[in-house]
């Protein structure tokens, strides 16, 4: 496979110090650093963050500014993310990227649906689109109130008249009790949307996809798979005929129809074996 000059440059590892660390919940922290390449990223793109002597992990870009500042929000789930959470301001990390495609920006009536850290790319997109859309509804779900990430920032972003935030928690500690997909059926029956953007647990996105298909609304979903190379070489991120790192991570409904047997159903483990989600 021939790599373009852009890809070769993006793939070069850059070391940079962590400039700030913010706790968003008991398990999620936002890390900000300077990286001129990732500062030009579009919502939906991801980077590879190297934690020296530990591992390198894929992370969606939360925020990117022209002045070079870039942020990611990271949930502590295992060895690499714990090591990153233990880092302090000034310590060095490595960055490759930005990688992958991005959401296609639309200005009409928009619905965004996020769960867990899936809010990272949709919030980045909402911040870029909010002032341009005819209507923007942001649906966000979590197990409990404490895990609803960036609520103040989402409310600030969606300050206009034609905007709405719908929050759900599984234990009912905030917003509507239940899964984030619960209020969507009625919403989609009642209102016409031009585009749904979604990111979160894949079973949630599959439900959103099925609803979008039923209501004939265009959709883009950002998928997560195990990633190693991030440039389409190793094959660890395959879903059907697609490599999520290179063909995605954002997929259209048309592409998702081609991988319906796997989307929301199974993924590959570190040995390449297909396992249930
Ligand atoms: C495109 C993309 C964007 C992502 N964005 C975010 C984000 O914004 N915030 C966030 O907190 N997490 C994000 N993730 C998930 C994050 O990469 C994993 O949580 C992280 O790699 C886990 O590493 P670990 O060593 O701490 O955990 P491990 O102990 O290795 O594994 C814990 C869990 O993370 C999954 N995982 C492990 N390694 C990878 C890998 N290389 N690629 C994908 N999943 C992996 C495993 O399936 C397992 O379920 C994203 C993943 C992808 C593919
Ligand atoms: S991570 Fe290697 S092909 Fe996608």
Q: Which domain CATH number covers 213?
A: 3.40.50.80
What pTM was estimated for this model as a whole? 0.96
Are residues 140 and 230 located together in one domain of the fold? yes
Are residues 189 and 231 located together in one domain of the fold? yes
Structural domain including 28 reads 5-99
Task: State in Å: Cα 228 to ligand 2 middle.
Answer: 6
Q: How big, in percent rounded to 5, are the helix, strand and coil portions of the chain? A: 25, 35, 40
Q: Which of 99, 123, 154 is the last residue of a domain?
A: 99
Task: State in Å: Cα 56 to ligand 2 middle.
Answer: 13
Can you read off the two tokens belonging to residue 152?
């103040």
Cα dihedral sign, 32-82-57-239: negative
Cα 161 to Cα 130: distance, rounded to the nearest angstrom: 11
Phi, psi (deg, nearest 5) at residue 180 = -65, -25
Task: State in Å: Cα 46 to ligand 1 middle.
Answer: 12
Q: Which of 73, 99, 125 is the last residue of a domain?
A: 99
Residue 272 within any structural domain of the chain: yes
Report helix, strand or coil for 129: helix
pLDDT at 12: 94
Cα 91 to Cα 1: distance, rounded to the nearest angstrom: 35
Can you read off the two tokens belonging to residue 231?
């440039």
Are residues 83 and 148 located together in one domain of the fold? no
Are residues 89 and 120 located together in one domain of the fold? no
Cα 196 to Cα 181: distance, rounded to the nearest angstrom: 13
Q: How many structural domains are present in the chain?
A: 2
Cα 175 to Cα 140: distance, rounded to the nearest angstrom: 10
Each of the 277 residues of the chain gets a pLDDT tens digit; together they read: 556 787 788 999 999 999 999 999 999 999 999 999 999 999 999 999 999 999 999 999 999 999 999 999 999 999 999 999 999 999 999 999 999 999 999 999 999 999 999 999 999 999 999 989 999 999 999 999 999 999 999 999 998 888 999 999 999 999 999 999 999 999 999 999 999 999 999 999 999 999 999 999 999 999 999 999 999 999 999 999 999 999 999 999 999 999 999 999 999 988 888 999 9
Residue with tokens 């190297």: 50
Are residues 229 and 118 located together in one domain of the fold? yes
47 lines ligand 1 (CB under 6 A): no
Angle formed at CA 255 by CA 11 and CA 42, multiple of 5 degrees? 40
Can you read off the two tokens belonging to residue 76?
């502590």
Pocket perturbation via mutation, ligand 2, pick of 243, 249, 269 by most ligand atoms within 8 A of CB: 243
Task: State in Å: Cα 272 to ligand 1 middle.
Answer: 16
Can you read off the two tokens belonging to residue 15?
């070391």
Q: Which of 99, 122, 150 is the last residue of a domain?
A: 99
pLDDT at 78: 97
Are residues 64 and 171 located together in one domain of the fold? no
122 lines ligand 1 (CB under 6 A): no
Are residues 89 and 198 located together in one domain of the fold? no
Query: How many CB atoms within 10 Å of residue 105?
Result: 16
Q: Which ligand is nearest to the CA of 76?
A: 1
238 lines ligand 2 (CB under 6 A): no
83 lines ligand 1 (CB under 6 A): no
Q: Which ligand is nearest to the CA of 202?
A: 1
Are residues 227 and 95 located together in one domain of the fold? no
Residue 217 within any structural domain of the chain: yes
Residue 104 within any structural domain of the chain: no
Are residues 130 and 46 located together in one domain of the fold? no
Q: Which ligand is nearest to the CA of 247?
A: 2
117 lines ligand 1 (CB under 6 A): yes
Task: State in Å: Cα 238 to ligand 2 middle.
Answer: 7
> What is the end-to-end Cα distance of the chain in Å, rounded?
30
Are residues 154 and 95 located together in one domain of the fold? no
Calculate the dihedral angle through the C-alpha atoms of 5, 11, 17, 22, rounding to the nearest 10 degrees: 110
Residue 160 within any structural domain of the chain: yes
**Is residue 129 classed exposed, middle or buried when 0-12, 13-18 and 19+ CB atoms within 10 A define those classes?**
buried
Ligand 2 atom nearest to CA at 230: 1
Are residues 67 and 154 located together in one domain of the fold? no
Are residues 39 and 166 located together in one domain of the fold? no
Q: Looking only at Cα atoms, what is the longest distance across the chain?
A: 53
78 lines ligand 1 (CB under 6 A): yes
Ligand 1 atom nearest to CA at 56: 41
Residues whose CB is less than 8 angstroms from the CB of residue 78 and which lie 6 or more positions away in sequence, other chains included: none
Residue 268 within any structural domain of the chain: yes
pLDDT at 246: 96
Residue 81 within any structural domain of the chain: yes
Calculate the dihedral angle through the C-alpha atoms of 74, 75, 76, 77, rounding to the nearest 10 degrees: -120
């Amino acid at each position: 496979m021939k790599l373009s000059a852009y890809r070769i440059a993006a793939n070069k590892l850059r070391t940079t110090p962590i400039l700030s660390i913010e706790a968003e919940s008991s398990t999620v922290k936002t890390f900000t650093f300077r990286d001129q390449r990732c500062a030009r990223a579009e919502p939906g793109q991801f980077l590879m963050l190297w934690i020296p002597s530990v591992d390198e992990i894929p992370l969606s870009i939360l925020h990117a500014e022209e002045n070079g500042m870039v942020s990611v929000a990271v949930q502590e789930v295992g060895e690499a993310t714990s090591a990153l959470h233990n880092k302090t301001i000034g310590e060095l990390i490595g960055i490759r990227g930005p990688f992958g495609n991005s959401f296609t920006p639309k200005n009409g009536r928009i619905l965004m649906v996020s769960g867990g850290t899936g809010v990272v790319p949709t919030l980045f997109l909402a911040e870029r689109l909010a002032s341009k859309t005819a209507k923007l509804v942001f649906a966000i779900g979590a197990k409990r109130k404490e895990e609803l990430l960036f609520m103040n920032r989402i409310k600030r972003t969606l300050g206009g008249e034609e905007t709405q935030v719908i929050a759900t928690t599984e234990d009912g500690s905030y917003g509507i009790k239940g899964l984030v997909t619960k209020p969507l059926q009625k919403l989609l029956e009642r209102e016409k949307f031009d585009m749904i953007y979604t990111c979160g647990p894949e079973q949630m996105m599959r439900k959103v996809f099925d609803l979008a298909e039923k209501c004939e609304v265009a959709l883009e979903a950002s998928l997560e798979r195990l990633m190693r190379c991030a440039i389409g070489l190793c094959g660890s991120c395959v879903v059907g005929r697609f490599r999520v790192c290179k063909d995605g991570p954002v997929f259209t409904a048309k592409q998702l129809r081609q991988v319906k047997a796997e989307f929301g159903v199974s993924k590959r483990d570190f040995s390449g074996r297909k396992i249930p989600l």
